[in-house]
Chains A and B, each alone.
Chain A
């Protein structure tokens, strides 16, 4: 029964990674850049929901909505101010800028909220689900996290395969120049991508803080890096890959913690990544790079 319980915890943690990884993978797919500030948007989302609910006394849904709106705007603004001017710069310059944005967000949070951890009260009031005569208990947060992840994933797949903007995003991710020749505005497509990714990061922040209720300016860093690993693991640029990569990573982490060593669990996660990349450099669901003829 503990195996099953660990598995469920792994899927739950993995679902959070998957939601964050989506932001990484979509932005990479379209702008061909690694947005290392993505993890810190999670933290901003967490603080926004925290402030709305604790200081302003707002309800859970308005609190989440505020976090999502602010992070969406933040993502678009960061892209406009920091990344857009570097559109034709070497990718190393963009990468370093992203790391700079990450530090900027962390230190701004430190300035506003200080370094003491805030205790985040869970947004989920759902009772635990007891199965097998109470031997297996699935917490409300876990249920909500997994269900949200499935809904988000389905919505995104439908969005990219059915809507005009979604298809344009796929076109831009394949060939920016050709997409422009179709009349697609590449800049606004990139903005939409950042908006979606950052909005999802806010949701992930709220879910993460509900499951692990300490909130600090550095809260987003480690999950951000793990989610980036998940995106690479699943095949960066691929939406289903982010899902698969995220959930597998969560399961590996929890199993590593439970059966091998709590301290080594992160090392195990990254070791698995290295092995996967050695065997399949494009990640689990990544597409092989097309040879140009």
Chain B
């Protein structure tokens, strides 16, 4: 479904991504794990089109994403829940969700809104509230609901567990699993490797801009180097 082939990304003179390749197949949950600054978010932002790769190619559903503007990539069925949630703080919960459906016709939005409210009843209760007043967990749910509003085929999540209490992290990961079983393919970026590998089918380990390891989640959980570096033992 998504094929990232040997991409290189620079921030000015800093070589942030050095020849990264990976693949996400339809129906999978794939995770990119790695420490701070390994290039995980940069990779996602390059797939979303916010950053440009100097070389290499990104292919989504058989079409190259090279040179396609970020707002058009969303319309192709690829949505991202950005790091730090980035909900529109001064807009209401419902307005945020409407923005998520920006690429779709108004007539189609109602059903999606209903779906999101069904999955996140809390958002329905707070639909008229300005989203800056929501708690961190609620904002994460809003960011996920907002991304679901575009009916993505592939949903990319950037550090959904960041700054949340363990019980909320579990809730969020349960929802990710549910979305996946409902037919959405997931690409998950996480520092919380344990959590990520527990729900993912496969994983890639990123270190200073390179993929150093790729295997099934079960294998990565048993890998000594991964255990030592990312699983606290």
Contacts and interface: CB of A to CB of B under 8 A. Distances in A.
Q: Do A and B come from one complex?
A: yes
B79 interface: yes
Contacts of A185: 69, 71
A184 B99 contact: yes
A287 B163 CA distance: 25
A168 B88 contact: no
Contacts, number: 71
B51 to A, nearest CB: 10
Interface in B103-162: 103, 106, 132, 146-147, 150
A177 interface: yes
Interface stretch (B19-27, B90-98, B178-186, B210-218): B90-98
Contact of A181 (B80, B84, B106, B163): B80
A182 B69 CA distance: 12
A168 B99 contact: yes
Contacts of A167: 91, 95, 98-99
A181 B79 contact: yes
A181 B48 contact: yes
B158 to A, nearest CB: 10
Chain B interface size, as a band, is 20 to 34
B86 A175 contact: yes
Contacts of B88: 170-171, 174-175, 178
B164 interface: no
Interface in A279-293: 287, 290, 292-293
Interface residues of A, number: 21
B36 interface: no
B28 to A, nearest CB: 22
Given A164-B106, A171-B99, A293-B163, A180 B50 contact: yes
Given A167-B95, A170-B91, A171-B88, A183 B82 contact: no
A181 B163 CA distance: 22
A156 interface: no
Contacts of A164: 98, 102, 106
A179 interface: yes
B108 to A, nearest CB: 13
Interface string A64-89: 00000000000000000000000000
B68 to A, nearest CB: 12
B198 interface: no
Main secondary structure of the interface of A (DSSP, over half): helix
Interface in A150-174: 164, 167-168, 170-171, 174
B91 A182 contact: no
B86 A182 contact: no
B86 A177 contact: yes
Nearest to B45: A177
Most interface-central of A171, A175, A178, A180 (chain B CB within 10 A): A178
Contacts of A184: 71, 99, 102
A140 B75 CA distance: 51
Interface in A179-208: 179-186
Given A167-B98, A171-B99, A181 B74 contact: yes
A225 B28 CA distance: 57
Most interface-central of A182, A184, A185 (chain B CB within 10 A): A182
17 contacts: A164-B102, A170-B95, A171-B88, A177-B82, A177-B86, A178-B87, A180-B49, A180-B50, A180-B70, A181-B79, A181-B82, A182-B71, A182-B103, A182-B150, A183-B71, A293-B84, A293-B163
Minimum-distance CB pairs A-B, first 4: A183-B74, A183-B103, A178-B86, A180-B70
Given A164-B106, A180-B70, A181-B79, 14 more contacts: A164-B102, A170-B95, A171-B99, A178-B88, A180-B48, A180-B49, A181-B70, A181-B80, A182-B103, A182-B150, A183-B72, A183-B75, A184-B99, A287-B90
Interface of B: 48-50, 69-72, 74-75, 79-80, 82, 84, 86-91, 95, 98-100, 102-103, 106, 132, 146-147, 150, 163
